Amino acid sequence: MKPAGLSPNPDPVLNQPMTPELVRKHGLLADEYEAVRGHLGRDPTLTELGIFSVMWSEHCSYKNTRPLLKGFPTEKRGATAGFGRVLVKAGEENAGIIDVGDGWAIAFKIESHNHPSAVEPFEGAATGVGGIIRDIFTMGARPVLLTNSLRFGELDSPATRRLLRGVVAGIAHYGNCVGVPTVGGDVYFDRSYEGNPLVNALCLGTLRHDQIRRGKATGLGNPVYYVGAATGRDGLGGAAFASRELSAESAADRPAVQKGDPFMEKLLIEACLEMMAVPGLVVGIQDMGAAGLTCSTCETASRGGAGIEIELDRVPQRETGMNSYEIMLSESQERMLVIVQAGREREIEAVFEKWDLHAARVGSVTDTGRMVVTQHGTIVADIPASALTDGAPVYQREARRPAYLDTTSRWTPGGAGLADLDPAGARSALPRLLSHPTIASKRWIYRQYDHMVQHGTVVLPGSDAAVVRLRLGKGEKFIAISNDCNGRYCYLNPRRGAQIAMVECLRNLVCAGAVPLAMTDNLNFGNPYKPENFYQLRECVAGLAEACRFFDVPVVGGNVSLYNESPEGAIDPTPTVSVVGLIEDEAHITRQFAPAGSRLVLLGGAPSEIGGSQFLGLIHGLKTGDAPDVDLAAEKRLQDFLLGQVRAGRIGAAHDLSEGGLLVALCEMLFGPGSPGAEADLSRLAAPRLDALLFGESQGRVIAAVAPADEAPFIAAAGAAGVPADTIGTVTPGGGLTVATARGAVSWDLAELRLGWEGSIESAMKRPGLG
Amino acid sequence: MNIAVLQFPGSNCDQDAFQLFAGGLGLPTRYVWHKDRALGEADLVVVPGGFSYGDYLRCGAIARFSPVMGAVREYAAAGGLVLGICNGFQILCEAGLLPGALIRNSSLEYRCMTCDLTVEDAGPGFNPRALGGRIRLPIGHGEGNYRIDEAGRARLVAKGQVLLRYAGNPNGSLDDIAGVRNEAGNVFGMMPHPDRAFERFHPSRDGLAVARAVLAARFPGMILKTA
């Protein structure tokens, strides 16, 4: 078939006949190409092929994951009139929105920029931040905080140091300039991410219910505006690039990485919020993120059940001679598409003139249901808008349980003849764990981020959860946010590992005194066409969905990043979870630093598992065993009890056990202001193995610091709630850490431990990195 | 009392400065847009932090040509009070209203942290008797490394123009200088953020005292509400 009906493109380069080779280069399968022809009733033009290629990529279409994602709950059953209602659900718009009461709401979402960051860490990470901020303010919300979730190989590799330096500098460059505080995050270092780092960025914004905006094109004849930066040739086909495995040739894909301008973004935020504040002016708005002009036009048209006509000659361009393929597929940053109420063009133009930004009328809304693109008077693309969105293919991929699980899940320390620790071994293991970059202080990272701008940060980075005061009109509210995912657990037991990410996030919030509201997730996995990878993906999603339903925490949106592979293989499955919680009363804000004189109570019982632990990895060089057990009901009892005690004013500090186990958690509670010490006695805890007691990562454990007078009622309340509680020691005004065990006592100089913990990443980063 | 907070494209601590004066001190406060050529009635002009004009070229180098800066120059020449915070300090140095310059941090990295600062004797209001010998304020900047030539440095000391010094230098500043005033004593600039130290949950509330100390240069004995 010929592209009948369409005249030749003004640029002769784009008039090539379709060949299997061209189709393959665009990442479309033969069947998918046939579907394209079916939608068009003819061969596509090259411009149209490019448009289908990006819209049907995993990044835009979720074609391999859509059936799985349907398992996530998207509404909160126990929402009250006070807060918790889902106002905009996952998948409906650019970000989900949750009611926080009094007519106010929050919009938040996490998104990945893994592949661009692997190739060009600074720009890749920077534009990841820019993109997620646009997803939030396009909903009508003012961005008020950022967090990020990063994964790298081990820091002993110069290539990893180059990536870490670049990614952190890129996030800092963008977030600092745009004036949104980066208040928290999580960072892991593990060989599986060598060559394929993960960079997931989250943004949260605030808005009134009546300020919610939609990415919908409606109203026949309404003008379509293009606002923000001009279009260049950067980021061509970035969405398609993100849906391929990384290889040695990826460096040649640099033009697929975009370049960010945070100053432009800051102006765009202010101008767009000012424009949206004008009643009735904006009909619909959407950012031009992945797949740029293509995605924003066909998605708004499809959501609105309308059509859109755009004229490329009117698109602001920063390079000359760009053809339709380039303009439609460019992923130049800091651009938005706005549908304005007809007759009010002058009002939007006045706002953008004030901010010295482009606002060009590029087209209008039609009733044809088609996305029609013209250039130099010729139609260069004419596609049913819904074919690009709802018409994208959906696949149920084959899943196969990876063979390695047979070995790892049966592994036990006893069966492997692993000698238990003696006190001398424990003494030397603790400083090694504390100074491993995954556990060590992330100060080197977060001091490069402006985490205080907007003057609302209450609990600074370096705690279980960040706490931020939201100024909402004349009132204020406090929220907590935490990110988590231990890929090692997900590798060893995908279903359970994903649940651990979720319950740990919830535990972090509860330790900060917050009631969990809703979750956003970023599913980072390998190539889904490999059945073992798809098995991991399927199991992780199932585990997450179950935990979400159990805790009544809905998913309000997120992102899927597949093809995270380097020549060495796939990354550990990493379903990053981020949960936002509301702190109902400022007095409930709880910190992790234990005050001197308080009693330390371990909740949840003695840790007894060692599989998948940092200890096993670092001290024994093993990534094996089963992931720690998860008991959702016990976890819920613990969290409900803890929140009750926070409200009763009995908690001086609380911190959960996670990577590194009991002793690491204890140290982290002592590495605060005043540098207190502690005397602990673990000798009466039932523990078959000392290594598992001190460094195992059993879930559902929290150390609470309570005043001596509160100790008895606290323990009695725990008993009544069915939560195991054991007093394990006292916080002393200074000095060291002494721990009595059934096999003898061990003590450490805390100042020395703290030095190793605080300075580890910093000293590693003083060594040269590549490039 | 009337506080004017300037807004440049790229200012991002404008709301923080606004809240310090409006919420923290309870003073009438308003914004002035960078394209305005007049300030209107003002008892203090605050040049806030951020990345004016993206800080492209050099921090503050473009902002100093903004229409409003002409009015600020006239206002300062007539003895009006001006406070530049962070990027505002950089702009005032670029505009020649304060001596010295701010270059990249010696670490070549952005720094966000809370710093201990020693208070120097810089005249009425701004001195250890009014503020205490030591205060704590957050910083957040990539280019806060203060530089001045030898003659300028001698003049700063001789005229008591140094406001604050870092106790533990975070950026390589000459003589640990964190903030200075002009010779006449009506233009103040500092890298640390008093606008991040006034709420009950901030690392300190010393920002309130610093804001009062600046106002005291023109309005001695003024009683201000502490929120």
Cβ–Cβ gap B196/A267 under 8 Å: no
Average pLDDT over residues A126-139: 96
Minimum Cα–Cα distance from B142: chain A residue:
A448
pLDDT interval class at A237 (50, 70, 90): low
Contacts of B105 in chain A (CB under 8 A): none
B13 interface with A at CB cutoff 8 Å: yes
Smallest CA–CA distance, residue A668 to chain B, in Å, is 19
Report residue A770's pLDDT band, with 50, 70 and 90 as the boundaries: low
Do the Cβ atoms of B54 and A458 come within 8 Å?
no
Full domain range(s) for residue B212: 3-216
A449 touching chain B per CB within 8 A? yes
Given an 8 Å threshold on Cβ–Cβ distance, is B50 in contact with A261?
no
Chain B hits for A448, CB-CB cut-off 8 Å, are 109-112
User: What is the residue whose two structure tokens read 């892991």?
Assistant: A188
- CB-based contact A728:A600 (threshold 8 Å): yes
Give the tens place of pLDDT for each residue, B116-170.
999 999 988 899 998 999 999 999 999 999 999 999 999 999 999 999 999 999 9
- List A477's β-bridge partners, or say none: A470
| B149 domain residue, yes or no | yes
In the block, which residue shows the tokens 């009337």?
B2
CB < 8 Å to A447, chain B = 109-113
Confidence at A5, pLDDT banded by 50, 70, 90: low
Which of A273, A455, A469, A471 has the highest number of chain B CBs within 10 A, making it the mutation to test binding with B? A455
The CATH number assigned to the domain holding B52 equals 3.40.50.880
pLDDT digits (tens, 9 = 90+) for A442-498: 999 999 999 999 999 999 999 989 999 999 999 999 999 999 999 999 999 999 999
Average pLDDT, chain B: 95
Contact B142 A446 (CB under 8 A): no
Residue of A nearest to B195 (CA): A455
H/E segment holding residue A74: none
Q: Does A355 touch chain B (CB under 8 A)?
A: yes
Q: What three-state secondary structure class fits A256?
A: helix
Coil/strand/helix, residue A746: strand
Give the number of beta-carbon pairs within 8 Å between A and B.
79
Sign of the torsion angle spanned by Cα atoms A212, A541, A298, A239: positive
Amino acid at A187: V
Contact B113 A447 (CB under 8 A): yes
Residue contact B112–A446, C-beta within 8 A: yes
Q: Do B12 and A458 touch (CB under 8 A)?
A: no
State the average pLDDT for chain A: 93
Is A446 within 8 Å of chain B by CB? Answer: yes
Q: Which residues of A are catalytic?
A: 59, 113
Kindly state whether residue B78 falls inside one of the protein's structural domains.
yes
**Per-domain boundaries in chain A:** 590-771
B198 lies in some domain: yes
Measured CA to CA in angstroms, residue A100 lies from A44, A417, B29 at distances of 47, 53, 29
Walk across the sheet containing A653-656 and list its strands.
A653-656, A702-706, A599-603, A725-732, A677-681, A737-741, A744-748
Residue B223 lies in a domain: no
What residue of B is the nearest CA neighbor of A452?
B196
Q: Taking CB atoms and an 8 Å cutoff, what residues of chain A touch B8?
A: none
pLDDT of residue A312: 97
- The string over A18-29, giving b where at least 16 C-beta atoms fall within 10 Å of a residue's C-beta and e elsewhere, is beeeebeebbbe
Nearest by CB to residue A263, choosing from B19, B53, B110, is: B53
Is-contact A623 A612, C-beta < 8 A? yes
A354 by Cβ neighbours in 10 Å (0-12 / 13-18 / 19+) ranks as middle
pLDDT band at B222 (very low <50, low <70, confident <90, very high): low
The pLDDT value given to residue B225: 43
Total domains, chain B:
1
Q: How confident is the model at residue B49 (pLDDT cuts 50, 70, 90)?
A: very high
End-to-end Cα separation, chain B, in angstroms: 17
Residues contacting B77, CB < 8 A, separation 6+: none
pLDDT higher than 70, residue A239: no
Strands (E) across A604-710 are located at: 653-656, 677-681, 702-706
pLDDT at position A379, please? 96
Q: Which of B54, B56, B110 sits opposite A448 (nearest CB)?
A: B110
A473 touches chain B (CB under 8 A): no
A708, burial (CB in 10 Å: exposed 0-12, middle 13-18, buried 19+): exposed
Distance from CA of A257 to the nearest CA of B (A): 21
CATH superfamily of A590-771: PurM-like C-terminal domain (3.90.650.10)
**Chain A residues inside the 8 Å CB shell of B12:** 177-179, 266, 453
* pLDDT of A645 strictly over 50: yes
Condensed to tens digits (0 to 9), the pLDDT of residues B79-126 reads: 999 999 999 999 999 999 999 999 999 999 999 999 999 999 998 889
Please identify among residues 117-176 of chain B the ones whose CB lies closer than 8 Å to any CB of chain A.
138, 140, 142
Would you call B10 and A261 a contact, using CB atoms and an 8 Å cutoff?
A: no
Q: How far apart are CA A171 and CA A453, in angstroms?
A: 15
CA distance linking residue A665 with residue A126, whole number of Å: 32
* B222 part of a folded domain: no
Residue A263, chain B, CB below 8 Å: the answer is yes
pLDDT of A596-618, one tens digit each? Answer: 999 999 999 999 999 999 999 99
pLDDT tens digits along A740-764: 999 999 999 999 999 999 999 999 9
Which chain B residues are closer than 8 Å to A143 by Cβ? none
Q: Provide the percentage of residues in chain B whose pLDDT is more than 90.
A: 91
Question: How many residues appear in chain B?
Answer: 227
Return the residue of A nearest to B53 by Cα.
A263
Residue B226 lies in a domain: no
Evaluate whether residue B227 is within a structural domain: no
